[in-house]
Structures are given as C-alpha cells and as structure tokens.
Amino acid sequence: MTAHNFHSSVLREYDVRGIVDETLSVEDAAALGRAYGTHIKRAGGSRVAVGYDGRVSSPAMSDALMAGITSTGVDVVCVGMGATPMLYYAVFELDTDGGVMVTGSHNPPNYNGFKMMIGKKPCFGAAIQALGATAAKGDFETGEGTRSEEDIFDRYIDRLARDFEVGSFKIAWDPANGSAGPAVSALVKRLPGEHIVINEEVDGTFPNHHADPTVEENLEQLKDIVRAEGCDFGLAFDGDGDRVGAVDGQGRVVWGDQMLAILGADLLQEVPGAAIIADVKASQVLFDRIDALGGKGVMWKTGHSLIKAKMVEMEAPLAGEMSGHIFFKHKFYGHDDAMYASVRFINAIARQGGDLAALKDDLPAAINTPELRFDCEEERKFVVIDEVKARLEAAGADMSTVDGVRVKTDDGWWLLRASNTQAVLVARCEASSDAGLSRLKQALVGALKASGITPPEGL
C-alpha cells in the first residue's frame, strides 16, 4: 500500500490530534487505521473496538479509520458515539485486542484526533511514533477484516452505577455539550437525590462554553446553577468525558488535586497504606494529606498515559492529575472515567460528612499561581530544563526531577517543566503566604532569565 506521512504536529505524546482539514484529514485517519491494524495484527490481535465523540467531523473520521483497520485483516466492533471512557470500557467488556476513540478531547470544535489502546494498555510515546514510522514506510498488513456494531451503552451505565454506595444530594451536572451528555443523563436516573443536568445535548460546536473544566470561566454557568438552585455541589466534564471538575455549594472551584485528596481519604479507609499517584503540578497539600492518613503519596509525570503506566507498575488503586483525569484501579479498570470518578466522589463526600464546602475548607490553605504556559521553541524547551536542573544541582537545591524540576524551599515549591505536546514551558508556584509566593516567583524568574527566557505574565 502507499506510504503516508502525517503532519509533523499530530503524532503527540499521548494521542494523535490536529486541526481538521489543515493538519488532520480523513486520509490521515485511514492511514492511521492501516498502521494501527498492522501493529495489532503483528502483536497477535484480531479484533478491536472503535468509538467516536460528538464532533461534526467524527463520523467521517471514524469511518475512514475503520476502513483502514479492516484493510489489514483486523475486525472492528463499532460501539458508536459516546464518551472516551465508554470506549475504554468496551475494550474490557468485549475483551478486544485494543481500541481507538475518535475525539478532539477538550480542544476547540475544529480539532479532532485519536486516543488508542493496544491490548488493555494505553498506546503512547514511542508506540505512537512507531505507527507513524509504519505509515511512512507503507509497511501495512493486508486482509479483509469485518465491521460490526455493538450497543454497549446500557451495560456501561450499569457499570458506572454499580459502585454507587451512599449519598443523596442535590447535584448540578454539566457535560458541556460533549459526548458524555447521554451517559450523564442516564446515570443520574440511577442515583438517589435531585439532579439538574445542563448542556446535555451533544453538539460538536460547543455552543454554551468551551468543554474544559480546568478553566474557571468554563464553570461559570455551572456555578450560577449551583447557587440559584441551592445545589450541594456541581460536576463538570470535558468534551469526551474523561476529565472532571467540581464546584462546591458556595460556587467555589474544587480543583483536581483537592478532589483527589477527598477521594484518597475515602479510599484509604478501605485500602490502608495504599499508594496514590498525582502529577507534579499537584499541591503539596495533597501529598502531605495522603501521607498523614497512612497512605503513600507518589509524585509522577504529567500525562494520562504516563500516569496509567505508573499505576500498573506500582499496583496503585487511585491516581489523578490537576487536569481532572482521575483513575480508579480499585474496583474498576485503571483508566480515567469522569462519570465513574463522580460516582466515587459522591460516595466519598457522603462518608466524610456530606458537605463538600466543609471538606474543601478542611484542607490546609495554600496560595498558588495558576498553571502558567508560555512559548518556548521545540528544540529549546528540554534544553532549558536541563540547564535549570544543572544550576540547581550545583547549588544543592532540594528538588524532584521526575518531570522537569520541582524545587522545594521553606516557603513552598516552584515547578518548571516542558510540555510533551506543545512548544511551551509550564510553570507553577505554591506557598503558605503571599510573601513566600513572591520569593518563589523571584526564584523562578531568576532561573528562567539565566537561560535567556523572558518570564511570562503572572510571575
């Protein structure tokens, strides 16, 4: 078959993603299908699951992808439109040899992409680059695979609801017109309490707000509903349902690491001493809280695929990221499912007094910057990190180098890391006082200037 070269920007660390008809086309989808099917076949597999999100371009992209896969002799089970975690669930429920989700995740409507599993594990990093190399050589298997349809929606909702245990609340839910909308609407019918679902209709143009619950302005509509209707709390989702955000009954954001602290406290009652993993952007408050409760707080690299791999390595029952990816291996499959995490979050709140605002207030106060992202040339970003690391080591700094550099001082900590998916550097600072935060910012500014980098606004 004809060799195919992908645009240089679309083969990312965790997935394949690009701008439709600019950097990503249906021809790319077909070629990715051929490369993916080839790798599945050569690994001894014969059958994979495919799903797609609610974007306008997703049906055509998924058709091309499936045509590419079946051309290698691998069979495809299409589970239809739904959330990314429904596709992950399908891989386990149908016991397929892998799966591909056509999704642009939380990106704007003109984006799309592919999240993949090979076997029961995420396909990321070198494995994604290997797919690109296979396509570039035109080194494809051939055959006549079949395509079938399988409706797993009801089974998926049953699985989400199975681990609900306790809690009757008034909750507002915002799927943000993403592909999780139907699942959220079906799930709340299985839960006690009162539920208000907004933006549940799937609309790939995302007419009400951007589908990213980590950006506070995207939570304003949910906050308004929570306050106006007297809800106990609200839950929000990204465009494909693998990330969750929350606001308490006062309309305050409960950030990803705070959610993980609440979930972790609940889990440690059932699994004493467990390791709980969070990414390097998470608050020190989280790690300290887990350790104080007898668990083992583990700091790891940012990236949902990297976190999943670390969970398998450590046999950790729970993990999470500031970005709202929350992973349960305890009673579940180890992947990020925002609706499942919501069910467990309801349990956790109920078992710890029933007041999310009080649980948030119970966490030690910390003053921090938002995540600061600023441009840095692709070929320079990792070099900058190495330069900063070398100077800090020479100075005897107390730091973690798990992912970039996270420097701990008496004031708190500051972080500088290179994004795996964009030509940017990422920074964050956290302290227990305004004066401490100012000193941390000064240290970070100094580290950047020493490498010839202009500090971003906010430092």
What is the set of active-site residues?
105
Within a 13 Å sphere around the CA of 433, how many CA atoms are in the beta-carbon half? 6
Q: Which two tokens stand for residue 286?
A: 């989280």
3-state secondary structure 228-271: HHCCCEEEEECCCCCCEEEEECCCCEECHHHHHHHHHHHHHHHC
Strands 296-300 and 275-279: parallel
Q: Which of 369, 363, 332, 368 is nearest to 347 (CA)?
A: 332
| 63: its two tokens | 């058709």
Contact partners, residue 383, CB within 8 Å, separation at least 6: none
Distances (CA, A) of 4 to 23, 50, 343, 449, 455: 13, 22, 43, 42, 40
- Per DSSP bridges, beta strands 147-149 and 75-81 are parallel
Parallel, antiparallel or unpaired: strands 424-431 and 412-418? antiparallel
What is the number of alpha carbons within 13 Å of residue 213 lying toward its C-beta? 33
**Rounded-to-integer distance, Cα 3 and Cα 54, Å:** 30
Residue length of the chain = 459
